[in-house]
Amino acid sequence: MKFERYGIGIAKGMTVTMRNLLRRRITTQYPEQKLTVSRRTRGNELVWNKEKCTGCATCAKTCPQGVIHIVTSVGEENNYNVEVFEVDTGYCISCGLCVEACPYDALFMAYAFELAKYRRSELVLSRDDMLIENKQASAYFRPEVDKDLPEQELLINRKE
């Protein structure tokens, strides 16, 4: 005997929707309310550690879009000086291969909102735009950074 047919199914469904009515809302009111995104987010920009970079240009070779432009000169202590390091984020597909390829942990993905620009030329990030001192690096492919970052926030879990 299927009791679902005698209106019990309807009553069950009504309680389900009523429970949803009394639940916390899950819509984020974006411009006013910015939630912390995942700690391992790819974000949409790059962060560069000037001290760790050796100028090996592995990132430039891995980039499937070929948007990383790096120019080096030979230094005095048998090293490279990075003269130019530019990323055209207009063509970047945020694949993160450059971060994965970097043998010296010098490149990171980053937390970033609202990176829209008015001109194409502004999309090209120079080495000063990417300095790690000014940005919040994310833990994408760098789990060791993970513990210092804030935990991801969802409205449904939030207690206030």
Partner 1 sequence: MVGPNITVDALRHLAPVAPDWPGNEWWHWLVFTVILIVFILVMVIIFIYLERRIIAWFAARIGPNRTGPFGFFQNIAAALKLLLKEGVNPTNADILIFWLAPIVNFAPVIAVFAVVPFQNGALLADLNVGILFVIAIGSISTIGVFMAGWSSGNKYSMLGAMRMIAAVVSYEIPVVLALAGVVVLAGSLSLNDIVIAQERVPFIVLQPLGFLLLFVGGCAEINRSPFDLMEADSELVAGFHTEYSGIKWAMFFLGEFGEMVVMSTLIATLFLGGWQGPGLPPWLWLLIKIFIVDFIMIWTRATLPRVRIDQLMALAWKFMFPLALVNLIITAIQVLAWPDALPLYVIPINWAITVVLVLLGSKLFKLGWGRVEV
* Residue 24 C-beta: closest distance to partner 1, Å: 7
* 158 belongs to the binding site for partner 1 (CB under 8 A): no
Tokens of 91: 């063509």
Q: Are 92 and 42 in contact (CB under 8 A)?
A: no
Least Å from the CB of residue 8 to partner 1: 10
How far is C-alpha 119 from the geometric centre of its chain's CA atoms? Answer: 22
10 binds partner 1 (CB under 8 A): yes
Distance CA 76, CA 53 (A): 16
Q: Which of residues 24-43 bind partner 1 (CB under 8 A)?
A: 24-27, 29
CB 155 within 8 A of CB 25: yes
User: Least distance (Å) from partner 1 to the CB of residue 23?
Assistant: 5
Alpha carbon distance 105, 115 (integer Å): 24
For the CB of residue 17, give the shortest distance to partner 1 in the complex, in Å. Answer: 4
Nearer to partner 1, 25 or 120 (CB): 25
DSSP 125-156: E-TTTTBGGGS-B--TT-GGGGGGSPPP--TT
Query: Binding of partner 1 at residue 7 (CB under 8 A)?
Result: yes
Count residues contacting partner 1 (CB under 8 A)?
17
Question: Counting contacts by CB under 8 A, is residue 95 touching partner 1?
Answer: no
Distinct helix (H) and strand (E) counts, the chain: 3, 5
Decide if residue 154 touches partner 1 (CB under 8 A): no
Applying CB under 8 A, the residues found at the interface with partner 1 are 5-7, 10, 13-14, 16-18, 20-21, 23-27, 29
